[in-house]
Amino acid sequence: MSKNRDLYRRIMAMESRHFNMCFYCGCIATEYDFVPPFKLTDFYIRTGEEADFYEVPACNECHTILKEDKSGLLGQRVDFVKSKLAKKYEKALRVYHLWHHDELESFDHNFQKSLNAGIELGTETYERIKFRGFEFEVDGQKRHSNFVEEVKLTVFGEPFDHFRDALDYASKSYRVPKAKLKDLFAKHQNSFDKAITAFQKEFEEKQLEKKCREFAKAHKQNPNFVIRTVKLFLKMEESFTVEKALEKIYNTYIAPEAQIQQTLTKGNSMTVKYSDLESAFDFVSFGSYSDNEAYLSIKTGKIYWVSDNIDEEDEPLPDDLYQSDEYIQIPNKHDLDLGKKLVFDFVHQFLASDFETVSQYFRKQGAYGRFKLLLERREKLDEWYKFEEQENKKTLLEWAKESGVTVTE
Ligand SMILES: [Zn+2]
């Protein structure tokens, strides 16, 4: 026993400020930790397993924790004690990392008190875990201890000594909630840069989905189709933004469909000016029965005049004028029963006593000429023109309505 005891050499701090200090955590040392554990000395000797055989000043807590550790090297025992402390004070560390005293003012008194205590304990624990030991000598020989790696914390190049400060800075600068950032930090190899990038990517993904869903709703599209297609466009075209991709979806899939729908709804409801319709009607009603024709395009509202007397070069006609459903023929006054019938309607109303005479006219050729002369004699010519115009209009408008053509003044 005493023989084994002689194997151990006490380590001595080089600087006076480290005297009586726990080598593991920097607290006041009250015990000595045996490296390797004293009860395992025989095992280490027998097996030749590497061991330091140091007597290391330790605080009560580290000493107690290290009773569970069987390692024989100081570095291994440092790692063990740090990981145990981190685990034991996990909650306090979390409170310390996420909260500042001045953020607690709005809380209920008791909750404030417990959070403040957590922050205190967390601060102390963080310092203990970060503690890097000290330089010491053994048997008059100086040893260099480098067991605790100095963690270089940076947030996109900005250096920090304390995790809490780095977290605070990163959270504020990159708008990531602290708790979320802390989790991502651990998940991404303890790198703030990777954690922030991951968060931004996740955020962008969510924004993308949100925008796609809104777009899908507004344009009655399947949201999954929109999300999938936007992602595809973004992959294909690096300079694309989500907005640009949505615009492309609109132009590629939605606008053409909407245009067809619009044409279908409008369909035959192309508008045409009454004066144009009237001119065309006069044109086809003028002269002998079927010399003149006129056609209305239900797509453009344009009226094409067809006559042997019109030079086609001035007014080219569509090639499919007689085949396509796009063109409807403008009726003449006979088609609309506005010839003889109109005359008799007028006579019935305004020249009742001449009814027999007019009937005679219409049994022979040149009836309209003689009817006009009669109107002149009776001073009813103006009234006739007015009547004729009104009746034509009434009938033409009815025809237009039946043909699905909207007429404007
Ligand atoms: Zn300690």
DSSP label of 286:
S
Instruction: Give me ligand 1 centre to Cα 24, in Å.
Output: 5
Instruction: Give me ligand 1 centre to Cα 90, in Å.
Output: 17
Instruction: Give me ligand 1 centre to Cα 30, in Å.
Output: 9
Any domain includes 217: yes
Is residue 297 located within the same domain as residue 402?
yes
Is residue 281 located within the same domain as residue 177?
no
pTM beyond 0.75:
no
Is residue 181 located within the same domain as residue 261?
yes
Where would I find the beta strands (DSSP E) of 214-313?
Answer: 271-273, 293-297, 303-306
Is residue 295 located within the same domain as residue 251?
no
Instruction: Give me ligand 1 centre to Cα 91, in Å.
Output: 19
Domain that holds residue 210: 153-265
pLDDT of 313 reads: 61
Nearest to 195 by CA among 209, 208, 183, 205: 183
pLDDT of 185 reads: 94
Is residue 403 very low, low, confident or very high in pLDDT (cuts 50, 70, 90)?
A: confident
Is residue 102 located within the same domain as residue 157?
no
**Which of these three, 115, 143, 171, is where a domain ends?**
143
Instruction: Give me ligand 1 centre to Cα 140, in Å.
Output: 24
Q: Kindly list the distances between the CA atom of residue 21 and the CA atoms of 36, 106, 172, in Å, as whole numbers in the listed order.
A: 20, 39, 37
DSSP codes, 118-180? HHHHHHHHHHHHH-----EEETTEEE----SPPP-EEETTEEESSHHHHHHHHHHHHT--HHH
Question: Taking all residues of the chain, what is their mean pLDDT, rounded to a whole number?
Answer: 87
Whether pLDDT at 310 is above 80: no
- Each residue's pLDDT tens digit, 130-185: 999 999 999 888 887 777 777 789 999 999 988 989 999 999 999 999 999 999 99
Instruction: Give me ligand 1 centre to Cα 21, in Å.
Output: 8
pLDDT of 355 reads: 86
pLDDT of 381 reads: 87
Is residue 107 located within the same domain as residue 124?
yes
Any domain includes 391: yes
Cα separation of 292 and 279, whole Å? 12
Instruction: Give me ligand 1 centre to Cα 60, in Å.
Output: 7
- Each residue's pLDDT tens digit, 254-276: 887 777 666 555 555 567 888 88
Is residue 134 located within the same domain as residue 222?
no
pLDDT of 106 reads: 81
**Which of these three, 222, 248, 265, is where a domain ends?**
265
Is residue 125 very low, low, confident or very high in pLDDT (cuts 50, 70, 90)?
A: very high
Instruction: Give me ligand 1 centre to Cα 131, in Å.
Output: 10
Cα separation of 396 and 387, whole Å? 14
Contacts of 358 (CB under 8 A, 6+ apart): 343, 344, 347, 351, 371, 374
Any domain includes 148: no
Asked if residue 208 lies in contact with residue 201, where contact means CB atoms within 8 angstroms, the answer is no
Is residue 279 located within the same domain as residue 298?
yes
**Which of these three, 236, 265, 294, is where a domain ends?**
265
Is residue 251 located within the same domain as residue 272?
no
Sign of CA dihedral 275, 278, 283, 287: negative
pLDDT of 399 reads: 84
Higher-pLDDT residue of 254, 1: 254
Any domain includes 351: yes
Instruction: Give me ligand 1 centre to Cα 62, in Å.
Output: 4
Instruction: Give me ligand 1 centre to Cα 38, in Å.
Output: 19
Any domain includes 322: yes
- Each residue's pLDDT tens digit, 20-36: 999 999 999 999 999 99
Query: Per the structure block, which two tokens stand in for 257?
Result: 């469909």
Q: Which residues fall inside 5 Å of ion ligand 1, going by CB? A: 22, 24-25, 27, 59, 62
Is residue 158 located within the same domain as residue 123?
no
Is residue 287 very low, low, confident or very high in pLDDT (cuts 50, 70, 90)?
A: low
Asked if residue 179 lies in contact with residue 197, where contact means CB atoms within 8 angstroms, the answer is no
Asked if residue 133 lies in contact with residue 78, where contact means CB atoms within 8 angstroms, the answer is yes
Instruction: Give me ligand 1 centre to Cα 96, in Å.
Output: 20
Any domain includes 342: yes
Q: How many domains does the chain have?
A: 3
Cα separation of 194 and 171, whole Å? 13
Q: Which amino acid is at 332?
A: N
Is residue 239 located within the same domain as residue 275?
no
Is residue 178 located within the same domain as residue 62?
no
Any domain includes 363: yes
Instruction: Give me ligand 1 centre to Cα 27, in Å.
Output: 5
pLDDT of 264 reads: 58
